[in-house]
Amino acid sequence: MKSSKETRRMEGRGQPEGSPREKARVRTQSRVALPPNLERVNTAAKQAAQTRFTALLHHVNEDALRRAFRRQKRQASAGVDGITVAKYEERLTDNLRELCGRVHTGRYRPQPVRRVYIPKADGGKRPLGVPALEDKIVQSAVAEVLSSVYEVDFLGFSYGFRPGRNPHMALDALHTAIMSQRVNWVLDADIRNFFDSVDHEWLLRMVAHRIADPRILRLIELWLRAGILESGEKQETDRGTPQGAGISPLLANIFLHYILDLWVHQWRRRRARGRVVAVRYADDFVMGFESKVDAQEMLLALKARLASFGLMLHEGKTRLIEFGRFAALSRQRRGERRPETFAFLGFTHYCGRTRDGRFIVKHKTEGKRLTRKLTALRQEAWRLMHESLATQHEWFAAVLRGHYGYYGRPHNYPALNGFYREVRRIWLHCLRRRSQKSRRMGWSEFEALTARFRLPVPRITRTWAQARI
């Protein structure tokens, strides 16, 4: 049985591939305004799905570079050249004019990416690439141009790092799919070290499907081959898109569009016996199946598909579980425990029941994610220990508002309240460490203090929504 019209609508897909109306119906950059010149590029991409764009670099002009500069975070770490946003801004017009000239005359050369390591919750370290500021600017400007083309091509179930889309849209789509479709099995897939494993040759070939401007292709190749500077030594790279590089998310989406999204779309049309739904956010993706046989066959086929492009699934993090409205009853009949859960975009998703006994997908803050966040909060609170009460209050309040803004989804109030209580404990502990006198502060004194410096209380900030596409 093939995917239904409702499933296509829910995931943002139009007619099946091959239909004349397919591209026109795929919602891409709705709600996102483009500069007039890129609107024309976007329109041309919509009108001819096979068009290869031979002249795009002229869109990377001073205005585009200025927009790209404004998108940079002011407090971001400097790359190998040590130039910060504030320093570059002192002569912004001259700097951008000179940079634009180098880009268009072929004199622009990207610098190696500075590699830094950030701590992980398990005590290990995660590598992160920090490009030089000018490289970030040019990458962002080129990504803006390329997005006007590729947003036409990307399928509706891809949500990560796309204009007008965000994690909550992916969560809504997943919730809607499981609630409205015949989903009985869930494949929670994790690609091992994806961003460090992307094959450069394959990636360049995929970009060339749509982009035939040799200057754009040359820039992308230069960025991929710029190398990494670590401990004063340059390391050459032939695989991977360094996380932290401005164009990496788009390149990752292009790569996954060709090796995963289009393939999954064709597989479920041609091979699937029952309903199949998919939601992808960057390299994190979940699939739902009506048929266990489909789910098992997809898992085997997926491993082979990824292997053909030099990728592999993380065996310890990839799971096929029974999940959905009939999972609890089926497992109970077999004498098994309650249905398993899976994690996606910071939430643990589990099978639940409403007050009147109806099935519902619920989610709560993922435990590992919460532990990492609280560990980081304790470290930062220690650094702020001797700051004024007003400064501490402002910081703790901002942390809570940000947490509620993302995790304030229905059914997650208990986890929000637990986080709120833990933040209060962290602040009290921080105050007790300020001096010998403060060590005697009890809960009653702390309550009096927080009556003056009120912390935002837990609240649900998101509502149930159909897949917003």
Examine residue 296 and state whether it is found in any structural domain, yes or no.
Answer: no
Distance CA 251, CA 246 (A): 10
Residues 376, 240 share a domain: no
Provide the residue range defining the domain that includes 448. Answer: 367-452
Distances (CA, A) of 320 to 132, 286, 293, 391, 416: 41, 10, 11, 47, 29
Strand ranges of the sheet holding 347-353, from the earlier edge strand across to the other edge: 342-344, 347-353, 359-365
Examine residue 329 and state whether it is found in any structural domain, yes or no.
Answer: no
Examine residue 294 and state whether it is found in any structural domain, yes or no.
Answer: no
Residues 375, 245 share a domain: no
User: How many domains does the chain divide into?
Assistant: 2
Residues 70, 207 share a domain: yes
Examine residue 395 and state whether it is found in any structural domain, yes or no.
Answer: yes
Residues 77, 213 share a domain: yes
Q: Given this model, what pLDDT does residue 66 score?
A: 98
Examine residue 462 and state whether it is found in any structural domain, yes or no.
Answer: no
Whether the model pTM is above 0.85: yes
Examine residue 149 and state whether it is found in any structural domain, yes or no.
Answer: yes
Residues 386, 243 share a domain: no
Distance CA 137, CA 69 (A): 6
**Cα–chain center distance at 362:** 21
Residues 381, 246 share a domain: no
Residues 98, 222 share a domain: yes
Q: Given this model, what pLDDT does residue 20 score?
A: 29
Residues 244, 117 share a domain: yes
pLDDT tens per residue, the chain (469 residues)?
444 444 444 344 433 333 323 333 334 444 578 999 999 999 999 998 889 999 999 999 999 999 999 999 999 989 999 999 999 999 999 999 999 999 999 999 999 999 888 776 566 677 788 999 999 999 999 999 999 999 999 999 999 999 999 999 999 999 999 999 999 999 999 999 999 999 999 999 999 999 999 999 999 999 999 999 988 889 888 899 866 778 999 999 999 999 999 999 999 999 999 999 999 999 999 999 999 999 999 999 999 999 999 999 999 999 999 999 999 999 989 989 999 999 999 999 999 999 999 999 999 999 999 999 999 999 999 999 999 999 999 999 999 999 999 999 999 999 999 999 999 999 999 999 887 666 778 899 999 999 999 999 999 999 876 444 3
Residues 376, 231 share a domain: no
Q: Given this model, what pLDDT does residue 1 score?
A: 42
Examine residue 137 and state whether it is found in any structural domain, yes or no.
Answer: yes
Examine residue 29 and state whether it is found in any structural domain, yes or no.
Answer: no
Residues 206, 57 share a domain: yes
Q: Given this model, what pLDDT does residue 48 score?
A: 87
